[in-house]
Chains A and B, each alone.
Chain A
């Protein structure tokens, strides 16, 4: 790390030498210690997006190109209009580094931060979702420890705030062993009026600056710079950089903030997250084209003797900065008093365009308000990794065990097994909106009380596929996550993403990021899905092997369902009904669970997205929905379509009889059964409409296959494959394996 000499002291900073020189030019003098600390934080990768910004221009302008987008990237959260006077705000963020060091508080404060972002848009947070990634659990106490405490951190925090955790995703892969990924997503609901009156920045001189909520302590100082480095063995010593959350205070902050906003006196609002007061004040004034005079001694502090550097960089949790109209000051403060929340008037907005911060009488910070958010952009080098060709050319080995056992092993494997152990610990019903609950669908479906509308929300990606081909893998992430909400009957309305990648200074890592962003941007443009926000987390590397994590561009999709009748769920409903496989199955075993679980193989040819077929498939499904032909639907994902179909049998202990004799399958059995080709669904329909469906598919140009029927006995019979005459699977055994894996590992 470079060192800078300030006030006779040698200071370690994360800034490059030319960045330090730039700061001097901005100020026309040497920065003092506090100022340098603020620049250090604000110009960190985490706050400034200095490496990622050049690539984020790939995304089309959501606000400009989509009428229903009310707020796009650059805001605290994306906001879309869902009709009937309601809007939905959503955002996803990473809290990887803190969680890898201190899983319980790292995960908990991640939830805390994302809730504040939604609150800043003036709407009530109504749902949480958490995509998580760890090393494999089996015989791995470290991964089990991380997993257990991350889940508990999310549960304790989310449950207490009264926001249901309605979904998520967990992937296990050795690349996450020492750098687990904890992504947190939140959804908010409000009226369009709420959004119109939502506070924004500090535009008006004379307004008061109030700091409300938790006290300011020494915890979390330099949390963001810590997040902008790779984890090293020294990181254990960084544990004080992890903040401690207080969900009870957060719950009261939510109520008090919403009540305060309703008065119309709150003109600006910013949560104190990464970068603490430095970030909040510079964004409020910098974006507002104003300045401010702040006195640090008015701040409610947790411990005595904190200096200005510590106060400005503290990332103590549960704090919000309010910009209040002078005539509304008493009204707003009364609300804070009712909720018994600590608060202080810490300064006033002025038109100086300068942030002046006093420590008592002493002027300790004197910087142009835009300077802190004006970090230089860095053009990084990118290079396709040389090892990829070898990986892509890996061949699937001969299967030497009984194929029945492959299904049993897959259904019990960590990435496919039921995640009930996780979601039972989350209150997923508080708020009485959860209509499709955890485990009953591909996405979480919430009702919008007072309307006939429902929103479906899903998060996900496939890190193994992205590792082999980040461009196609990222496209697939969008298609599959949309597939999850579509399976429940929803039309995708908007997307946000959370990019988790390695060190951007390494060209190979940066190439992954660049390719993934391009993939997401291209497919979203083609499918007409607005990208309304995103978050980038770099420097995710294994401290021991020095290898980057598998690239993980997590996608979050919000979809809309009109009317209760149009909600579709996962379980098979009635024996005798038809089972259709929608979409084409190709020889795409690369990065599949079949390769990793059965053959311990990472490579092969991963799925490729045919966006034209995807678009047609979706339109075909929506037409089927309109005609009420679909009784159950499940997006085909990890493990291939038989695994998908088995999951649909579990709830009612049904089975299926499948016959491929007349289908002339060209793929070999393993490819056909276990390929994870993108954009497929298994649906249940009535036999009466069989011909009609076939005709509709033909008209749409969508490949479909009637593969068999639902039966009342809990067994799956597969006939007429290329090599194997008949396979019989025991559904009850599969169900038991599916449900018991995590309990057996985690409940000791």
Chain B
């Protein structure tokens, strides 16, 4: 069986082509760019909601896209335990669609931030982190204006091991200036209870090729490689 991944394109998505490039030319799997109105989840083994400014992020980041019929399809896929990945704006959409808990607020600096940061893997028990080790520190870039994670259910998240990534310094410590946007508990990415749906603010597709990384690393591709592993196991 050939594995096929969909990258959903909303009006205003702008990391769609980047994500498609990584899936097809770096990870070497079949992938389609699908216009949101035409998306059918049943045709795919997994889905990525890419970064960007879907519907201009008007009203609130991700909220209009969250009401697109495409998200009903995504919801079904999540229920069928297919892997669902939301990157940056995709994370915002998953939160607004209530596939993931919490909220993403404006950065505490009140400014858009584009830079490479470090994240620590908090759990490998997800569809996207199985090829990593707990405590691994990854180099990834962020680029967002609204990425400050907040939730009033922190305890549940911790108890259910749903916190997947935390912002840290190079040595892997959660110190204040390692937190680029003021996220609660340094949270950079979380998963659902079923562990097949991940939302994260950093951009793994920008860190999947050595030439793009200031550290000559390819940590981003681990998320995609893990996803393929997850699908293969399911089969």
Residues of A within 8 A of B (CB): 152, 155-156, 159-162, 246-249, 251-252, 338-340, 423-432, 434-435, 437, 440, 447, 449, 564, 747
Q: Nearest CB to that of B26 among chain A residues?
A: A432
Structural contact, B12 and A429, CB atoms closer than 8 A:
no
Task: Give residues 103-158 of B contacting A (CB, 8 Å).
Answer: 109, 111-115, 141, 143, 145
Q: What chain A residues lie within 8 Å of B57 (beta carbons)?
A: 160, 248
Inter-chain contact B206/A429, CB cutoff 8 Å? yes
The CB with the most chain B CB atoms within 10 A, among A152, A251, A434, is that of A251
Q: A159-B112, A424-B113, A437-B214 are in contact. Are A246 and B56 (CB under 8 A)?
A: yes
Shortest A343–chain B CB gap in Å is: 15
Select one of A424, A431, A434 contacting B111, CB under 8 A: A424
Report Cα–Cα, A435/B209, bound state, in Å: 11
Assess the B114–A339 pair: CB atoms within 8 A: no
Residue in A246, A427, A432 whose Cβ sees the most chain B Cβ within 10 Å: A432
**Cα A469 to Cα B107 with chains together (Å):** 46
Residue of A nearest to B114 (CB): A427
| A430 lies within 8 A of B18 (CB) | yes
- In the bound complex, residues from chain B placing their C-beta under 8 Å from that of A251 are 11-12, 14, 52-53, 56
For residue B212, CB closer than 8 A to chain A, the reply is yes
Docked-complex contact B11 and A429, CB < 8 angstroms = no
Of the residues A156, A162, A564, contact of B15 by C-beta under 8 Å: A162
Rounded to whole angstroms, the CA-CA distance of A431 and B52 in the bound complex is 11
- Measured CA separation A429–B112 after assembly (Å): 13
In the complex formed, the residue of A with least CB distance to B111 is: A425
Beyond A424-B111, A424-B114, A432-B206, is A161–B14 a contact (Cβ under 8 Å)?
Answer: yes
**Nearest Cβ in chain A — how far from B29, in angstroms?**
17
- CB-contact partner of B14 in A162, A437, A440, under 8 A: A162
- Show 8 residue pairs from A and B whose CB-CB distance is below 8 angstroms, ordered by the A residue: A155-B112, A248-B58, A251-B12, A423-B114, A424-B113, A425-B113, A429-B143, A435-B211
Contacts of A161 in B (CB 8 A): 14
Contact in complex: A247, B56 (CB < 8 Å): yes
Question: In the complex, are the beta carbons of A252 and B112 less than 8 A apart?
Answer: no
Give Cα distance in the complex from A251 to B10, angstroms.
11
Give the interface residue-count category, chain B.
20 to 34
Cα-based distance from A429 to B144 in the complex (angstroms): 12
Question: B205 near A: Cβ within 8 Å?
Answer: yes
A564 and B211 form a contact (CB under 8 A): yes
- Excluding A162-B53, A251-B52, A432-B212, 20 further A-B contacts by CB distance (< 8 Å) are A152-B111, A155-B111, A156-B112, A162-B14, A246-B56, A248-B11, A248-B53, A248-B55, A248-B56, A252-B12, A424-B112, A425-B111, A427-B112, A428-B114, A429-B203, A430-B18, A432-B21, A432-B206, A434-B212, A435-B212
Question: How many Å from the CB of A202 to the closest CB on chain B?
Answer: 29
Interface residue B35 (Cβ < 8 Å from any Cβ of A):
yes
Known: A251-B11, A440-B214. A160 touches B53 (CB 8 A): yes
Tell me what chain B mostly uses at the interface: helix, strand, loop, or mixed: mixed
Within 50-81 of B, Cβ neighbours of A (below 8 Å) are at 51-53, 55-58
Contact present for B214 and A425 (CB under 8 Å)? no
Residues of B within 8 A of A159 (CB): 53, 112, 143, 145
Expressed in whole angstroms, the Cα–Cα distance for A434 and B112 within the complex equals 18
Tell which of B15, B114, B211 has the most Cβ of chain A within 10 Å.
B114
Bound-state Cα–Cα, A430 to B55, Å: 18
The one of B52, B55, B211, B214 in contact with A162, judged by C-beta atoms closer than 8 angstroms, is B52
Cα A434 to Cα B56 in complex, Å, equals 24
Complex CA–CA separation, A429 to B17 (angstroms): 13
Q: How far is the CA of A430 from the CA of B205 in the complex (A)?
A: 10
A440 to B52, CA, bound (A): 25
Beyond A248-B56, A425-B114, whether A430 also contacts B11 by CB under 8 A is no
Q: Which 5 A-B pairs have the closest CB atoms?
A: A162-B14, A248-B56, A160-B53, A427-B143, A432-B18
A630, B14: Cα distance in complex, Å: 37
Q: Smallest CB–CB gap between B147 and chain A, Å? A: 13
- Chain B residues whose C-beta falls within 8 Å of the C-beta of A152 in the assembled complex: 111
Q: Are B21 and A429 in contact (CB under 8 A)?
A: no
- The minimal Cβ–Cβ distance linking A566 to chain B, given in whole angstroms, is 13
- How many whole Å from A444's CB to the nearest CB in chain B? 13
In the complex, A710→B182 CA distance in Å?
Answer: 38
Residue of A nearest to B210 (CB): A564
In Å, the complex CA distance between A437 and B51 comes to 20
Out of A339, A340, A425, A432, name the residue touching B205 (CB < 8 Å). Answer: A432
Tell me the B6-48 residues at the A interface (CB within 8 Å): 11-12, 14-15, 17-18, 21-22, 35
Provide the residues of chain A in CB contact with B143, threshold 8 Å.
159, 427, 429-430
- Structural contact, B111 and A430, CB atoms closer than 8 A: no
Complex: A160 Cα to B143 Cα, angstroms: 11
Residues of A within 8 A of B209 (CB): 432
B residues in contact with A428, CB < 8 Å? 114
CB distance from B69 to the nearest CB of A (A): 14
A-side contacts of B114, CB under 8 Å: 423-429
When C-beta atoms are compared, the residue in chain A nearest to B52 turns out to be A162
Please state if B112 and A425 are interface contacts (CB–CB under 8 Å). yes
How close is A103's CB to chain B, nearest CB, in angstroms? 16
A469 to B51, CA, bound (A): 48
Query: Which B residues lie within 8 Å of A427 (CB)?
Result: 112, 114, 143
Least CB distance, A205 to chain B, in whole angstroms: 35
- Min distance, Cβ A447 to any Cβ of chain B, angstroms: 7
Residues of B within 8 A of A249 (CB): 56
- Chain B positions within 8 Å of A564 at CB level: 211
Contacts of B206 in A (CB 8 A): 429-430, 432
Within the assembled complex, what's the spacing in Å between the Cα atoms of A437 and B214? 9
Closest A residue to B9 using CB positions: A255
Whether B35 contacts A160 by the Cβ 8 Å rule is no
Task: Name the contact of B56 in the complex, choosing from A155, A160, A431 (C-beta under 8 A).
Answer: A160
CB-CB < 8 A to B212: which residues of A? 429, 432, 434-435
Q: Are the CB atoms of A429 and B56 closer together than 8 Å?
A: no
| B170-209 near A? 1/0 per residue, CB < 8 Å | 0000000000000000000000000000000001011001
- Which residues in B have their C-beta under 8 angstroms from that of A429? 114, 141, 143, 203, 206, 212
Say whether B113 contacts A160, CB under 8 Å: no
Known: A425-B113, A432-B205, A435-B212. A252 touches B11 (CB 8 A): yes
CA distance A339 to B17 in the complex (A): 17
User: Which A-chain residue is minimally distant from B51 (CB atoms)?
Assistant: A430
Q: How far is the CB of A368 from chain B (nearest CB, A)?
A: 41
Q: Which residues of A contact B15 (CB under 8 A)?
A: 162, 430
Contact A340 B11 (CB under 8 A): yes
A357 to B234, CA, bound (A): 65
| Among A248, A434, A437, A449, residue most surrounded by chain B Cβ atoms (within 10 Å) | A248
